Amino acid sequence: MRRILLIVSGSVAAYKALEFARLARKAGFGVTGLLTAGGARFITPHALAAITGGRVYGDLWSLEEEAQVGHIRLARDHEAIIVAPATADLIAKMAVGLADDLATTVLLATTRPVLVAPAMNPTMWAHPATQANVETLRRRGVAFAGPEEGEMAEPETGLGRLVEPPTLLEAVRAVLGNGPLTGRHALVTSGPTFEAIDPVRFLGNRSSGRQGHAIAAALASLGARVTLVSGPVSLPDPPGVRVVRVESAREMLAACEAALPADVAVCAAAVADWRPATETAAKMKKVADAPPPAISLIENPDILATLSSPGPRRPRLVIGFAAETENVLAHAQEKRTRKGCDWILANDVSTGVFGAEENTVTLLTEAGAEPWPRMGKEEVARRLASRIAEVLR
């Protein structure tokens, strides 16, 4: 059994740690609970003990524990350490390397992968101090899950919510890196592309990147090494995934080619079909009484078609998306043949998919069309990842 240590710190989101512990145990993990003093103000050790089915730790000065050097044992006896929810205070202590209670001492004494799921007020998350601490930890190899955008306990919305327990479990799997896709490399494109008109203006589109990022996370949670080539999005990096940030279609193609070889490529990015034929070096000036400038467009490279073209570097499985508003299946089938990819996920975007939580897709393979029920983008990603795992196994 894979054992994880769950550190719960003092946030109103601490109740979700109980739900996470329940899910993790159901998924076959052994979970040990550790409550900080703040964490114990929100949930009781008894609740955590009942759900983890073991004892709950919290006291650095417990004679009984420390006779066996308890903090070192806790740091070493688990395959990963999960801090959820993680407060701004605990993140700051980790960044500085303080060790003034059991949680911080264990975090300083461990060589295991550490996954942090922050939960705090959006202003606290956005504060340069917190952002600098997060950056420090990321550079040290600490993985982050979230925070997510949404409603806070206080009547406020923003970036700061703890990720939902199923997403956290996925992140744990990614950090542990063992599953049916272990040893495989997956390349995923996501988000829009921005095509420069001049140094300040661009042509772009409304893709949020949610579906592509969810696919990257789902593939990583099955153990794949994932390279996510992403256009400009305002989403957190999926845990355990290497993210290459690009702007234009040409940069996206170059980043994809540099990431090869890959066993599977999933092109979920909304790549601009055209770009301005010329990018002016200086900002275009508005001249009084002059007619507005005409922007002529030229075609962008097709990344999906390029990755699908036969050759030694072609991934074994290349998958594209077809966003259509009418004759969805016919257009998608035509796209599959024309671009030379193996599978196409066809989605009807006439019902408002951009930026939305849910998606209705049909999977087109060599065997035909398979409609999936309407489901969350995370669920679409999990389904697709497990289908990919079946083929690459």
- Considering the rule CB under 6 A, would residue 300 count as an interface residue with ligand C5P? yes
CA-to-CA distance for 138 and 157, rounded, in angstroms?
A: 25
Using CB atoms within 10 A of its CB, is residue 294 exposed (0-12), middle (13-18) or buried (19+)?
exposed
Binding positions for ligand C5P, 241-260, rule CB under 6 A: 249
* Lookup result for tokens 């911080």: 104
Residue 320 CB, nearest approach to ligand C5P (Å): 3
Of 4, 5, 322, 364, which lies in the binding site for ligand C5P, with binding defined by CB under 6 A? 322
Q: By CB under 6 A, is residue 48 in contact with ligand C5P?
A: no
Identify whether the C-beta of residue 131 lies closer than 8 Å to the C-beta of residue 147: no
From residue 315, how far is each of 56, 138, 146 by CA, in Å?
47, 30, 30
Please report, in angstroms and rounded to a whole number, the separation of the first and last CA atoms in the chain. 22
**In the complex, minimum distance from the CB of residue 347 to ligand C5P, in angstroms, rounded to a whole number:** 10
Which range in 17-25, 31-39, 94-102, 263-271 contacts ligand C5P by CB under 6 A? 263-271
Query: Whole-number minimum distance, CB 321 to ligand C5P, in Å?
Result: 4
Residues 326-345 within binding reach of ligand C5P (CB under 6 A): 335
- 265: three-class secondary structure by DSSP: strand
Per CB under 6 A, does 267 bind ligand C5P?
yes
Cα–Cα dist 36/43, whole Å: 10
- The residues pairing with 34 across neighbouring beta strands, listed in sequence order, are 7, 57
130 near ligand C5P (CB under 6 A): no
Coil/strand/helix, residue 335:
helix
Write down the catalytic residue from 178, 205, 347, 359: 205
Are 4 and 82 in contact by the 8 Å Cβ rule? The answer is: yes
Q: Is 133 a catalytic residue?
A: no
User: What is the closest distance, in whole angstroms, from the C-beta atom of residue 201 to ligand C5P in the complex?
Assistant: 20
If one asks whether residue 271 binds ligand C5P (CB under 6 A), the answer comes out as yes
Residues forming a β-bridge with 317: 264
Segment near ligand C5P (CB under 6 A), from 128-136, 216-224, 296-304, 360-368? 296-304
- Tell me which residues touch ligand C5P (CB under 6 A): 189, 249, 267-269, 271, 273, 300, 302-304, 320-322, 335
